[in-house]
Structure formats: C-alpha cells, structure tokens
Amino acid sequence: MRREYRLACWAAALVVALLASSNAAAQQKSVNAAAAPAAAAPTAGGEYAKRFADLCAACHGPNGRSDMPGTPALAGQHSFYAITQLFLFREGRRDNDAMTAIAKTLKDDDLRGFSDFIGTLPPVPPPKPSSPPDPARMSKGRELAQQHKCFFCHGNDLAGGQQVPRIAGQREDYLQTSLQGFKSGKRPGYTMAMTEAVSQIAAADLDTLAYFAARFTAPAAVGK
Ligand code: HEC
Ligand code: HEC
C-alpha cells in the first residue's frame, strides 16, 4: 500500500503523457476509446496474445520466460511497469537497438495492449540451477538489499507492484546489466528512484545483489 501511495504521482505523470498523445486517435475510434479502460477485455487480450506470440516470443519466450542472454523474463511483470518501459523505449530514452526498433512501431493502444497482456502472464520460476546458491553470497545479498531498501520498494517478496518491477527470479545477466546501467547512467529510469538507490553502492556489490535477486525465493509468497 505504502509504496503504491508514494509512487502514485509518477503513475499520474505517465498516464497524462500517454493519454494526451493518444487523444486524437481515441476520438476517431470512439468504440475503442470506450472499451480501452476495460483492460482485460477478452477480444483485446486475444489479439495481443497472438501478436505477442508473433512479435515478441522469439526473444522473450512463448510463456514470457526468456532463455536468451540479456533478455528479461516478462512473465510475472506488472502491466503498469511494462507500459512505462515500452514508453521509454519508444521515446528512445531507454537504449536497446532491438527493443527501440520494435517500440517505435507501436501506437499508444499497442503499448497498452501488450502491457495488459504481459500483466496476465503468471511468473515462471527460473530453471533449476546446476549448483545450489552460495550461502555466503546469498546472505551478503540479503544484507545489501536490506541496507539499501530494495525490499522497501520491490516488496518483501521482491515481486514488485504497479510500476515497480518484479526482480525475484529475473535473469542474473539482465539484472547485472540493469543495475550497472542505472549506476553509470546508461539506463535512465522512468524516475530517479533507481539512480538514487544504487548511487552509493559499489559495482561489486551490485553484482552480489543481481546474484541474490536472481536466486531469491520468498517462502511467504507461496500460494499468493
Ligand atoms: C530481438 C529480441 C526482442 C524482441 C523481438 C522483443 N524484445 Fe523486448 N526486450 C529485448 C531485450 C534484449 C530487452 C532488454 C533490453 C535492455 O537490456 O535494456 C527487452 C526488454 C523488454 C521490456 C522491458 C522489461 C523489463 O524488465 O524492463 C519489455 C516490457 C519488452 N521487452 C517487451 C517486448 C514486447 C511487448 C515485444 C513484442 C512487441 C518485445 N519485447 C520484443 C529483446 C526483444
Ligand atoms: C525508491 C524505490 C526503489 C528502491 C529503494 C529500489 N528500487 Fe529498484 N526499481 C524501482 C523502480 C520504480 C523501478 C523501475 C525503473 C524505472 O523507473 O524505469 C526499479 C527497477 C529496478 C530494476 C530493473 C528491473 C527490470 O526488470 O528492468 C532492478 C534490477 C532493480 N530495480 C533492483 C533494485 C535493487 C537491487 C534495489 C536495492 C539496491 C532497488 N532496486 C531499490 C524502485 C526502487
């Protein structure tokens, strides 16, 4: 609850931006505009399920769990988070050649449709690792995550919520690149939250946090 309240103003800013740019199109298509707030409309969901399979699954996996290096799992990600990131790619503020090229072809309705679809994908746990997690590294990771308030924003289960992403079980290589990117400025966030969160953390500790989050499972989150 508390984190949602704190982040509400960021959400409002994005909604305003997206709605303003989609206003003209929405007026022309009053039927679609009326249907737009009903995010889970079965027809829209079906259309984007198909388009996801055609356009996105090759990289992100048919169930949203990618096995391609550097490519994030989308399964279990929140629609609000997904839309902020698609928006950043489309505006060229988040830099990745493949994603920018795709995002540039997406209209506002598509950003919404793909994000709503992503929000319906249940989390898929990572494949079982060949060796068990190193207990010393895991406890160091937990300590860092407590100290730097990762749990405060990403939740005790690291499952995120609203525009805060799930990081539990995300690919380690992707977490590593993201955290280093926030620190170096290569990845500007939708807000300054992450830039501030990592600014005082040493690069080696960021890798420990990536190691920890990729292997993190929250016993309390079972059955949720
Ligand atoms: C050619 C491979 C490729 C295709 C096709 C692709 N993606 Fe991506 N996607 C990526 C990579 C790689 C990243 C991570 C980029 C980075 O490191 O910044 C990414 C990132 C994302 C993110 C941000 C996830 C996060 O955790 O921040 C979203 C959302 C996303 N993609 C959605 C889509 C959608 C929707 C489609 C289809 C319309 C799609 N992608 C097609 C490779 C791809
Ligand atoms: C003040 C709230 C806040 C804190 C504290 C915070 N985060 Fe975040 N985090 C966010 C938000 C919001 C995003 C979405 C990034 C954006 O703005 O585009 C994010 C994004 C991320 C991402 C990118 C995930 C993806 O799928 O691309 C990672 C990884 C991450 N955080 C890890 C951490 C770790 C590790 C910590 C602790 C060192 C931490 N965060 C602390 C709010 C926070």
Q: Where do the domains of the chain lie?
A: 2-120, 135-219
34 has pLDDT over 80: no
Mean pLDDT of 191-197: 96
Compute the distance from residue 28 Cα to the ligand 2 centre, in Å: 38
> In this structure, what are the phi and psi dihedrals at residue 32, rounded to the nearest 5 degrees?
-65, -40
Q: What is the pLDDT of residue 30?
A: 35
For ligand 1, residues with CB inside 6 Å are: 55-56, 58-60, 70-72, 74, 77, 82, 85-86, 94, 96, 98-99, 102, 114, 165, 177
**Helix boundaries (H) for the chain:** 2-28, 30-35, 42-55, 57-60, 79-90, 97-103, 108-120, 135-147, 150-154, 172-184, 193-198, 203-215
The closest-lying atom of ligand 2 relative to the alpha carbon of residue 94 is: 18
Q: Give the pLDDT of residue 104.
A: 96
- What is the CATH number assigned to the segment(s) 2-120? 1.10.760.10
Query: Which pLDDT value is given to residue 129?
Result: 85
Tell me, what's the pLDDT at 218? 75
Residues 114 and 78: beta-carbon distance below 8 Å: no
What is the C-alpha separation between 72 and 126, in angstroms, rounded? Answer: 11
Per-residue pLDDT of 37-76, as tens digits, reads 444 444 556 999 999 999 999 999 999 999 999 999 999 9
The atom of ligand 1 lying closest to the CA of 174 is 17
Tell me how far the alpha carbon of residue 194 lies from the centroid of ligand 2, in angstroms.
Answer: 5
Residue with the smallest CA separation from ligand 2 atom 33 is: 150
Q: Measure the CA–CA gap between 82 and 98, rounded to whole angstroms.
A: 16
Q: What superfamily would CATH give domain 135-219?
A: Cytochrome c-like domain (1.10.760.10)
Residue of 133, 125, 157 lying closest to 208 (CA atoms)? 133
pLDDT at residue number 12 = 47
pTM over 0.95: no
Apex CA 217: angle with CA 214 and CA 220, to 5°?
Answer: 150
For the stretch 73-90, pLDDT in tens is: 999 999 999 999 999 999
Out of 48, 55, 56, give the residue to mutate to test ligand 1, the one with the largest number of ligand atoms within 8 Å of its CB: 56
Same fold, 2-120 and 135-219: yes
* Residue with CA nearest ligand 1 atom 27: 85
DSSP 67-97: -STT----TT--HHHHHHHHHHHHTT-S--H
Beta bridge mates, 164? 161
CA of 94 from ligand 2 middle (Å) equals: 15
pLDDT tens track for 94-143 = 999 999 999 999 999 999 999 999 999 999 999 988 899 999 999 999 99
Residue with tokens 């990618």: 66
Measured between alpha carbons, how far is 60 from 67 in angstroms, rounded to an integer?
8
Closest alpha carbon to 213 in 124, 141, 122 = 141
